[in-house]
Amino acid sequence: MNNNCEVCFYRSFLFDNLEKKEFALLSLARKEIDYKKGEIIVREGEKISDFLYLKEGLLKVYRTVGPRKEQIVGVAKPMDFVGLLSVFSKSNYQYSISTLEDSSVCAIPLDLVKQMVHSNGDFANTLLKKMSEMNDQILNARLDINLKNLRGRTAYILLMLSKEVYKSEKFDLPVSRKEIGELIDMRTENVIRILSEFRNDGIIKIEGKGIEIVDMERLEQISEFG
Amino acid sequence: MNNNCEVCFYRSFLFDNLEKKEFALLSLARKEIDYKKGEIIVREGEKISDFLYLKEGLLKVYRTVGPRKEQIVGVAKPMDFVGLLSVFSKSNYQYSISTLEDSSVCAIPLDLVKQMVHSNGDFANTLLKKMSEMNDQILNARLDINLKNLRGRTAYILLMLSKEVYKSEKFDLPVSRKEIGELIDMRTENVIRILSEFRNDGIIKIEGKGIEIVDMERLEQISEFG
DNA sequence: TGGGTATTATGATATATATCAAGATTGTTT
DNA sequence: AAACAATCTTGATATATATCATAATACCCA
């Protein structure tokens, strides 16, 4: 953990256009907080005071829909700027955020971000672009999922985890079967059933949370065509 | 149609923080284009050169998913800044846009908008807020729809048209039953069936495209609980 | 004005998905 | 280590939704 934003590895993704004195402000004002797996970072309804920014780990963004039902909006990895979701439109969080893995989050006072948007045009344009990209990604994921049947959705989520999150065909599921269901709109039992089906067809190997994708091509076909 | 953005009724929603000379630039650079109902304004894949802004009418934002299947992302009325969707993240449109009613659209060169973001901090913050609001709205609509059964979805779309678009319990459907299905993920036959069901239960009156909501409370209950 | 095409409509049937049930496994607390 | 809770698993069944078929009506245009 370093304490100077100017030399932070992640700066290039959003903060590349800041000036010396802005980096100084940022380094001073930001807080870096470490969370253990399973902790809740943000609760729906809480006041938004900071701009959150995932440095390391994996987050789950979700909302509570019934007394005991959750709907997962998305999973966010570093660089995903999940904090950008509705940060500029609402004064209170619409979604809760929890950690799926040990994570470390940078919190920058929202006022400071707005101030930098105001004073630094390049930063403003970069932020607009990042925000737009993130929203696109989330929306497109939902639209895609809506078109797929259960097999397609299950394949989709496995591919997403393999390609976007873990960059490996072998990984541990960061979530329970129930949570997978909440993410791609299906029942726990069906998630399990279809994973078993994939296993029986020799497409994946399963060992508890451990997944290995054996036949990537086949899985891509299923994701595409159901 | 007036030609000076400074005195345009709609300016207050986004362009309230511009300076005299920026209004002058805007008035000069923008184009106002009128479309008849059913025309296509933007085709998926086309280069984005302008920031589009609906002054009057109703738009449908959609994407083509199969050889002959469409998925409607949303319906946009004036003030909805539908053009903001992915304008800052992509260089080509991801979605098509067509008119559901006679419409008039303002087109502002994207370069000019970016330039104004750069030079005018208040404008930048306002734009961030509007963009965030629009994305929230679209995403929330999709998340809500996903939770509802077919009856709930059908009720939801009728309420949306009544409350948000036409501000009246009596209105003409701007879309076919097929398009309603594309918007809320259901089959044409089921849209028709459920509308008939609502009619038979005395909740709405139907006359071709004409809809009158008779029992608003009931419809709200159905939208909420299915 | 007619003939073609898209839309609206309803019924019968098939299919996908949810629900219910019950047991096995894993994880957590005392 | 025992006891409890949560998760995972599979099978049987119910339910919601899609699909197929057919007809009536509205709409377009040559």
CA distance A63 to A86: 13
**What is the Cα–Cα distance from B159 to B167, expressed in whole angstroms?**
10
| Residue B194: pLDDT over 80 | yes
Please tell me the predicted confidence (pLDDT) of residue A8.
77
* pLDDT score of A191: 98
CB contact under 8 A, B117 and A127: no
To the nearest whole Å, the CA of B207 is away from the closest chain A CA by: 31
Top CATH class of B5-144 equals: mainly beta
Position B146, amino acid? N
* Residue B34 to residue B29: CA distance in whole angstroms: 17
Min Cα–Cα distance to chain A from B193, Å: 22
**A140 has a chain B CB within 8 A of its CB:** yes
Give the CB-side neighbour count of residue B1, counting CA atoms within 13 A.
12
- Report domain extents, chain A: 5-145, 148-225
Q: Taking Cα atoms as reference points, which of B3, B79, B86, B12 lies closest to residue B42?
A: B86
Mean pLDDT estimate for chain A: 91
H/E stretch holding A42 reads: strand A40-42
Which residues of A fall within a CB distance of 8 Å from B65?
147
Task: Count CA atoms within 13 Å of residue A151 on its CB side.
Answer: 14
On chain C, which bases lie within 7 A of the protein's CB atoms?
Answer: 6-12, 16-21, 26-27
Among A70-84, A117-131, B2-16, the range with the most confident prediction by mean pLDDT is: A117-131
At A179, the amino acid letter reads E
pLDDT of residue B83: 67
Q: Pick out residues whose CB falls under 7 Å from strand D.
A: A 176-178, 188-189, 192-193, 195-196, 206, 208-209; B 149-151, 185-187, 189-190, 208-209
pLDDT of residue A89: 87
Q: How far is the CA of B166 from the C1' of D26 (A)?
A: 24
| CATH architecture designation of domain A5-145 | Sandwich (2.60)
B226 touches chain A (CB under 8 A): no
A73 touches chain B (CB under 8 A): yes
Helix residue ranges, H only, B30-120: 110-119
- A224 at the B interface (CB within 8 A)? no
* Residue B3's pLDDT band (cuts 50, 70, 90): low
Please write the tens of the pLDDT for every residue from B178-193.
999 999 999 999 999 9
Q: Which tokens in the block code for residue A222? A: 């299923």
Contact at CB, B124 and A129, closer than 8 angstroms: no
Q: pLDDT at residue B216 above 70? A: yes
User: Å from B192 (CA) to D8 (C1')?
Assistant: 41
Distance, Å, B206 CA → C19 C1': 35
Interface of A with B in 158-217 (CB under 8 A): 185
Mean pLDDT check: name the lowest of A21-35, A78-92, A169-183, B196-210.
A78-92
pLDDT the model gives residue B14: 80
Q: Which two tokens stand for residue B210?
A: 């004409």
For residue A1, pLDDT over 60 is answered with no
CATH number for the domain whose boundaries are B149-225? 1.10.10.10
According to CATH, the topology of domain A148-225 is Arc Repressor Mutant, subunit A (1.10.10)
Report the alpha-carbon distance of residue B124 to residue A131 in Å, rounded.
13
Q: Which residue is nearest to nucleotide C9 (CA to C1')?
A: B192
- Can you give the pLDDT at residue B1? 52
Q: What is the pLDDT of residues A28-63, one digit of tens each?
A: 899 999 999 999 999 999 999 999 989 899 999 999
Which one of A70, A112, A129, A132 makes the best mutation probe of the B interface by having the most chain B beta carbons within 10 Å?
A: A132
The percentage of chain A sitting over the pLDDT mark of 90, rounded to a whole number, equals: 73
Question: Residue B89: its chain A contacts at CB < 8 A?
Answer: 129, 132-133, 135-136
Structure-model confidence comparison of residues B187 and B6, the more confident one: B187
DSSP letters along A171-217, please? EE-SS-HHHHHHHTT--HHHHHHHHHHHHHTTSEEEETTEEEES-HH
The pLDDT confidence band at residue A126, using thresholds 50, 70 and 90, is very high
Lowest mean pLDDT among A50-54, A209-213, B3-7, B107-111: B3-7
Q: How far apart are CA A131 and CA A148, in angstroms?
A: 26
Residues B146, A185 contacting (CB under 8 angstroms): yes
